[in-house]
Each structure stands twice: as structure tokens, then as C-alpha cells.
Structure 1
């Protein structure tokens, strides 16, 4: 029986972060830390007493899947010392190693959030390092911090904030703005209250990571307005992230009333991470609002085998043409590489199950796979690879 085969299909990653060129050798513990979403340094500290066949303390299925995949790719034993040694040898020319990984999975382009890590990595340098096409989303929070350090009055701050966002959106390689308001005050965004925002500005100047909800809500609305004017995308972090996220207020369902407002009915919105673990809510939102889209990133690749379940649930409601591939890779190129591999192996299982159940023929299932991997990006962002 003919099956869906996505290996070799070109891929665009619609949400990832750049990584720094690392010329120094990695240690086993350091490499494990690079793979983890944990912000606790002690999560990986001592591997000296790990017994044969024992999973590394603090590791999960994502790390297990990546280590096994790397051992096969590098043709070495499946233990961290052997993997890191082989990796260090092959990555002495870091750019060549990165490009080889990306070509292995046909990763041809990516939308990058250069707001992490800080200070920002240069987009053109990163593009040259990886030999892929890179587009940028401009994160609003670093700009808020920068301007608060330079301007005493709220009026000056907010005027320059709007101007700078407009300037960023005029740049050809910038496809939109991004907010991580879910990490600071949550997604329960309220209407603009200039008086309350003004009062909170002094608090923000003293502590730029403070909640200051009314100030952040105000800045969120301005970013939405700027994206509307420029006809570019507002990227919004939804769902889990690292340990700082305001988890009780991270569901994309909090944003539905905002999206329904008349002034935002034509605003292009990209729900980053597809709201995981509230992906059903995200899928519902994109199914009812024509200008809202979602990606499957962070849950891919960091839930490993869970990606199969997640994709099945997402497509219970989400239209096929409103979901895009992503990774949220952020420290090493192996994340970007394994993100594609995990996504493809799981999506193939989902698509082939639809064929086996006679929901569609294999040709249509194949096309849907290509839509999520790159075709939807080209159509939604009006960019041809």
C-alpha cells in the first residue's frame, strides 16, 4: 500500500531562536543543559554515578529521542560521552556542521525571534552561518526595556515605542512583531487604560520584569495597532514556556475577546506554540477567525512521541491551511534538526492513519503534509522560497 512520505520535503520553521556559534568543545553536562527547557542549572549536574541503561537524571523523552537520533547520525554509541565527543569532532567547523544538519532534513528557511538570546545576534551573520533564509520578528519587550532606560516621562516612552515599532515593521526582512506578555502579566489583556499605565511606568523603570499589567496591556494594544497598519503579523507566545510563564493565564482562550474586536478583525495573528497544552483552544480560535493562525512549536519537539497525539488533536478542529511547522529551537543546531525529524516521523503516522481509515487518499494526505511543512508558510506570509 502506498504511504505518505515527508522525508526530503522542504521545510520552513516558523518559530525558532538563533544560537551563537560555539567553537569551544561541549561537556556532557553542558550539552544536556543546552537541550533542556529547565532554567534550573542543577537539573543536570553529575553524571558520574549513572548506571548502565539508566536514563540521565533530569532527562525526559525529548532528550532520549535526540540522543538516540544523534548516536545514529554520528554513528557512535548511545551514551552522552560518546555522542558529545563525536559531536565536538564534527562541529570544529561549526558552520559546516550546522549546514550539514539542516541539509539532512531539508530545512530551507526560518522565522527567528532575535529577542532571545540577549544581546541580539545579527540576522545576516546567522543567515550566513546556517545557509538558510531567515526572516525576523521584532520582540516588543526588549524595546520597552531599552526605552524605559532613556526616557523619564511616560509620554516620551510611549511615543517613541510606537515610532520604533513602525520603523521595525517597515524593514523588508521583518515579518511581524512578537510579545511574551504571557511571561510577565498573562494573556488576559484588558482595554487600554492610559492613566493606569502611566502610574505603572515608574514601577517598570525600577524593575523591567515586574508585572505592571496595565502598562503591558497598553503596549500590547499599540503593537496590535502597528501590525494592523503595516499588514504584518502579531506573534503572541501562548501556552507553556520556561519556568517564568504565568501559567494560569497562558491559554490562548484569554485572547478571544480581543481578537473579536472590530479594530482587530483584519489583524494578522500568529499563535506561537499553538497554545500547548491548550492546543484545542488554539485550534478552535483559528477555525473561527479568518486572520488567526497557529504553529506546532515547543510541543514539537519537546514532547517527543507526544507530537503524534498533539497533531491529531489540533486537526480535530484546525483547518489544514492554518497550521504551520515550528520548533522553538534555541541553543544548538541539533534542536532545529531533531525538530524536523520528530515532526515528520509523527506526522507521517497521523497522515497514514487517515489514509488507512479511508478519510482521504494518499495523495491528499501527502499534500496536507507539505502544506504544514512549507506551503502554508508561503501562502500565509506571501513569501516564496
Structure 2
């Protein structure tokens, strides 16, 4: 397959758990609910693909897999699986899952930070409260963190939905919650992130689509960002729509009509398992080939990072082979497309930030 061996840039992922995990602990990290399950497409994928990567026969039972995994130890498992992805550059959301240092030691390659807007704002509010000058403190802290990052991210979809109000100025007051949920404050915060992103050349990532039970799925449809995308057209900001399922066709449409919009499929790919190629085909129905990036959105289990890469390669490779057989594109076109989706599109979207942070490379 043309996708075999091509270097990947994982433009959105998280750190891993290296401690011991029993079956309930492992399965909690295997899904978005209170508990995932081996009895699922991703459970089958772990047994089929991760087992051989850890020197086990394919399709071993869950308990055999977990006993062998425990014998190897969490750090050894993480290092093996992360290094087997073929990822040469990682963009790590440090809002959950740990920092870049340990991850770089385990994964190799270049590791860069994605700063979460809500994490910064909540840290400041926890320190000083809802006092006069808190908004200036939030902006100062965000700018300080952004100086060494390659991108920004918002989880406003979780906090109030993607139909947040657009504000250039913060509200006059807000309740100093542990988790900020005030739509007007969050609308200002996202706008601040967009302005800083445009100024510094930092793409702004949005969680869209499925997530855990804290999310209201209908409020994470990226189509709700249409007014925001109109407003940020021509400002220099790049917008990255993450995960997207089941709205990946909606995200593809937005990338089709707004030149500054990119998307990925993230954790969708390992979660749908054998159906990865079908979801990729649906995203590429309308998304410009320049707009789709690779990411695993792996978190907690290095199996998710590994399956994200492996199933992406297999799914896209099979799709490209079908197109070549159908004479829909040439082999040369196919090679260019694979390179763009694997790393070229992300490298271009993040180029300004990468040029500033070369000293942050790890591995």
C-alpha cells in the first residue's frame, strides 16, 4: 500500500498512562462512556492488531492480552506502540493527559504543545477569582503559554456548545466556577484565542462531534460554527475541526466553503475499527484534499495512538487502491494525496508556529 511507511504528523493527541491497569481500568480508557468494552469494534482491533505488536498471536482473548501487557509493564508497552506508529511529529494537547517531557521520552520524534484555552482561564480564575483585572491576567497567561506552543484548542463544545455568542469584550461579571460554563465568558475566550492565533500563526483547534457523557452531542455539530468561521475569514487564523463524527460530512462541507478550515477524524478511526476506510471516504467526498489532516486523538492507552495510525494507513491505503483500479487518479496523484494527508497538510497549517518552536523538538 502507498500508505505503508509514510511518515505521519499526529496533529492532535494526549499523553498515556504508564501505570498498571486491570481490566476495568483498561476498559475505562477504551471508550468514551463510563466504561468501554472489548466487545466492540475497537476491542476487536486491539486483539487483532495490538497483540502482534506486543509479541502475542492475533485475536488472543482480552485476559491473555492484559496479563501479557502487565508483564511487559506500562512504559515498555507505551514505548513499543508509540514508536511503531511511524509518527515523526506529535502535537500534544496538555490540557489532559500530562506534558510533553515524558511523552517525548516514550514516543520519540518531535513533540510540540497544544494549549487548551479553558485550562489556562480556569487556572487563572482559581488563583485570583472573579476580580477586577482577571481578564487581563487570562490574556497575559494565555500569551505566555502560546509563545512556546504550536496551536491552541477549545473545548467550548463541552462547556456550552458550539453555538456560543461571539464577543469582542468579556462580560462585566461571571461566577468563578471550577469549570467555566458561562457562554458569554467562553465566547470572549474563544474570540481571544482566535485573535492570538491569527497574530502568532497558531491554528485554533475545536473539539467537535462525539465525546464522553458530559457532552450534548447535538451542540457539538461543527455547522454551529458557521458565523464564527465567516467572522474569522481573512484574519490569518487557521481553524482545525477535531474528531467530527458523526458530523464528518458537515465538517467536510465547512472545509469546502471556508479556505481557512481543516479537519481530522481523530479517535473516530480506531473506534470504528474495520470501517475506517468508509469514514475516510465519506470525509473526502467533499473536503478539499488540502484540508484533511491525520490525528489519532490517542489518550491514556498507547493502543489508541497505535490503532489510529495503523487503521488510518489501512483504511486510506485500501481506498486509494480502489481509486487507482477505477482509474479515478494516477499513481503519481495518489502518492501526492497520501503525503498531503499524512503530514503535508498539517505541516503547512502549522508552519509559522513550527518555525518558531524548533528548539522544542524532543526525541
Partner-residue secondary structure (3-state), 1:127:
helix
1:184 corresponds to 2:184? no
The alpha-carbon deviation at position 369 of structure 1 amounts to 1.6
RMSD: 2.2
Partner-residue secondary structure (3-state), 1:331:
coil
User: Which residue of structure 2 aligns with residue 51 of structure 1?
Assistant: none
User: Which residue of structure 2 aligns with residue 33 of structure 1?
Assistant: 28
Match of 1:230 among 179, 185, 200: 200
1:322 corresponds to 2:296? no
The alpha-carbon deviation at position 213 of structure 1 amounts to 1.1
Match of 1:15 among 12, 15, 34: 12
TM-score normalised per structure 2: 0.90
The alpha-carbon deviation at position 235 of structure 1 amounts to 0.9
The alpha-carbon deviation at position 262 of structure 1 amounts to 5.8
User: Which residue of structure 2 aligns with residue 214 of structure 1?
Assistant: 184
1:174-202 residue CA offsets vs partner (Å, 9 max, x unmatched): 1111100000100012221757x233x12
1:198 corresponds to 2:172? yes
User: Which residue of structure 2 aligns with residue 50 of structure 1?
Assistant: none
User: Which residue of structure 1 aligns with residue 358 of structure 2?
Assistant: none
Change in Cα spacing, 1:226 to 1:297, as seen in structure 2 (3 Å) is: same
Partner-residue secondary structure (3-state), 1:296:
coil
Contact 2:18 2:78 in 1 (8 A): no
**Superposition pairs for residues 140-289 of structure 1, below 5 Å?**
140-171=117-148, 174-192=149-167, 194=169, 197-199=171-173, 201-202=174-175, 205=176, 207-209=177-179, 211-261=181-231, 265-273=235-243, 275-289=244-258
Contact 2:13 2:299 in 1 (8 A): yes
Larger Rg, first or second structure (1 or 2): 1
User: Which residue of structure 2 aligns with residue 344 of structure 1?
Assistant: 313
Contact 1:193 1:214 in 2 (8 A): no
User: Which residue of structure 1 aligns with residue 94 of structure 2?
Assistant: 114
User: Which residue of structure 2 aligns with residue 75 of structure 1?
Assistant: 56
The alpha-carbon deviation at position 36 of structure 1 amounts to 1.9
The alpha-carbon deviation at position 284 of structure 1 amounts to 1.4
The alpha-carbon deviation at position 210 of structure 1 amounts to 5.6
The alpha-carbon deviation at position 325 of structure 1 amounts to 0.7
The alpha-carbon deviation at position 255 of structure 1 amounts to 0.8
The alpha-carbon deviation at position 322 of structure 1 amounts to 1.4
Contact 2:82 2:306 in 1 (8 A): yes
Q: Please give the alpha-carbon distance, in whole angstroms, between the structure 1 residues aligned to 2:52 and 2:77.
A: 16
Change in Cα spacing, 1:152 to 1:16, as seen in structure 2 (3 Å) is: closer
Q: Please give the alpha-carbon distance, in whole angstroms, between the structure 1 residues aligned to 2:283 and 2:132.
A: 43
Q: Please give the alpha-carbon distance, in whole angstroms, between the structure 1 residues aligned to 2:233 and 2:282.
A: 31
Q: Please give the alpha-carbon distance, in whole angstroms, between the structure 2 residues aligned to 1:378 and 1:225.
A: 21
Match of 1:6 among 3, 18, 21: 3
Contact 1:189 1:217 in 2 (8 A): yes
Partner-residue secondary structure (3-state), 1:237:
strand
TM-score normalised per structure 1: 0.85
Q: Gaps (5+ residues) in structure 2?
A: 356-360
The alpha-carbon deviation at position 16 of structure 1 amounts to 0.7
Contact 1:7 1:105 in 2 (8 A): no
The alpha-carbon deviation at position 343 of structure 1 amounts to 0.8
User: Which residue of structure 1 aligns with residue 341 of structure 2?
Assistant: 372
Contact 1:287 1:319 in 2 (8 A): yes
Partner-residue secondary structure (3-state), 1:236:
strand
1:77-119 residue CA offsets vs partner (Å, 9 max, x unmatched): 6101111122222336x1x4433323333222211101013xx
Q: How many residues align?
A: 352
Change in Cα spacing, 1:154 to 1:267, as seen in structure 2 (3 Å) is: farther
